[in-house]
Amino acid sequence: MNCKDVIREISDYIDGELVLSVKQELERHLEHCEECKMVVDQTRLTVDVFCDSKPIDLPGDVKSRLHDALRRKLHAESS
Amino acid sequence: MLCAILIQPKARMQPPIGLPRPLSAPNPHRLPSTVARDDEHLLVAAAKRGDAQAFEELVNRYEAKIFRLTMNITRNREDAEDAMQDAFLKSYAHLKDFQEDSRFYTWLVRIAANEALMRLRKRRPNQFSLDEPVEGDEDLMPRELEDWGPSPEQRFAQTEMHEILSEVIDKLEPDFRVVFVLRDVEELSTEETAKVLGISVPAVKSRLLRARLKLRQKLNRYFRQGGTN
């Protein structure tokens, strides 16, 4: 497996979706290729920082408009 | 700053003392989501019977996440608000059709993503097309390889990280951004993402790979050791 093959498999690797033989081959490459190891680590960290991001509170005006619209809808349905 | 309201880093869980996670070890992200609480199905059942309070509780629970989703897709506050509002109204109108073969939240994300995509296509008809084939392999090889240090995210305060994430995702092309947002921020499966976007599983995988590599490249500017800009 060369560097280009590693990059092509990076997503499946960090998602744990590679078949065992390919995963082992990729990890053998990482043992001696510092550049690929850095790309793998940084790509995983990239996913982690976004994956761990949380929504902030809904702005007050947006929330009131949403709930007003919902109440109108719920009221219309029940009457 | 408009995009600054989108993403805020969570307090990260630290590995147990004495068991550091090796950076290159596989770390699958596709674990069952903790978004849906155990009582979600009870609220859905009550809402289906016409309990308006139960539906409002579901809205309270997911409104911030759905707004983040619609903002991340449209990158326009007005469109994001409209898409979120229509998503909740449509989910209420079609609640009886929800078969409960998936989580309510996942079903809601599909509706909201479609509402947001519709508005994105309308606003940027020439800039967004999931039909376009992605480039060949030659664009994949990463550039600018610089050490990020052991924990770059700890170098930034929450608000700084929040702005960095918003800025880099804003610069990602829409057809890569929507795939990344659904897959890595909302944690839909590859199959669910393909279904929402109406594209094949290989197309999702190809765009996701490119999105991740492009974001890595953009974060390099902030995360490289010894500089924040």
User: Cα distance from A58 to chain B (closest Cα, Å)?
Assistant: 5
Torsion angles phi and psi, residue B9, rounded to 5: -65, 140
Kindly state the average pLDDT of the residues A45-52: 87
Contacts of B5 in chain A (CB under 8 A): 56, 59
CB contact (8 A) between residue B89 and residue A37: no
Kindly state the average pLDDT of the residues B136-147: 75
Residue A31 has a pLDDT of 95
Contact B229, B163 (CB under 8 A): no
Rounded-to-10 torsion of CA A27, B187, B106, A56: 170
Torsion angles phi and psi, residue B6, rounded to 5: -80, -50
Q: Please give the residue that has the higher pLDDT: either B227 or A18.
A: A18
Q: What is the rounded CA–CA span in Å between residue B72 and residue B166? A: 9
Q: What is the rounded CA–CA span in Å between residue B117 and residue B157? A: 32
Kindly state the average pLDDT of the residues A38-63: 87
Residue B133 has a pLDDT of 58
Residue B138 has a pLDDT of 63
**Closest CB from A8, A17, A45 relative to B148:** A45
CB contact (8 A) between residue B65 and residue A55: yes
pLDDT band at B137 (very low <50, low <70, confident <90, very high): low
**Closest CB from A3, A45, A59 relative to B5:** A59
**Closest CB from B7, B88, B208 relative to A53:** B7
Kindly state the average pLDDT of the residues B75-89: 95
Residue B40 has a pLDDT of 87
User: Cα distance from A79 to chain B (closest Cα, Å)?
Assistant: 12
Q: Is the pLDDT of residue B129 over 70?
A: no
pLDDT in tens, B37-54: 678 889 999 999 988 899
Look up the pTM and report it. Answer: 0.79
Taking the CB of residue B142, how many other CB atoms lie within 10 A of it? 19
pLDDT in tens, A6-41: 999 999 999 999 999 999 999 999 999 999 999 999
Q: Is the pLDDT of residue B91 over 60?
A: yes
Kindly state the average pLDDT of the residues B186-197: 89
Q: Please give the residue that has the higher pLDDT: either A31 or B99.
A: A31
B43, B85, B187, B56: which is closest to A61 by C-alpha? Answer: B85
Q: What is the rounded CA–CA span in Å between residue B109 and residue B62? A: 10
- Looking at the DSSP bridge assignments, the partners of residue A53 are B9
pLDDT band at A65 (very low <50, low <70, confident <90, very high): very high
User: Cα distance from A30 to chain B (closest Cα, Å)?
Assistant: 8
Please, what is the average pLDDT of chain B?
79
A78, A66, A73, A75: which is closest to B49 by C-alpha? Answer: A78
**Closest CB from A4, A41, A57 relative to B64:** A57
Confirm or reject contact between B10 and chain A (CB < 8 A): yes
User: Cα distance from B40 to chain A (closest Cα, Å)?
Assistant: 19
Contact B146, B218 (CB under 8 A): no
Contacts of B55 in chain A (CB under 8 A): 70, 74
Contact B211, B176 (CB under 8 A): yes
Please, what is the average pLDDT of chain A?
89
Q: Is the pLDDT of residue B2 over 80?
A: no
Residue A43 has a pLDDT of 94
Residue B17 has a pLDDT of 35
pLDDT in tens, B164-175: 888 899 899 888
Contact B7, B166 (CB under 8 A): yes
CB contact (8 A) between residue B30 and residue A15: yes
Residue B144 has a pLDDT of 75
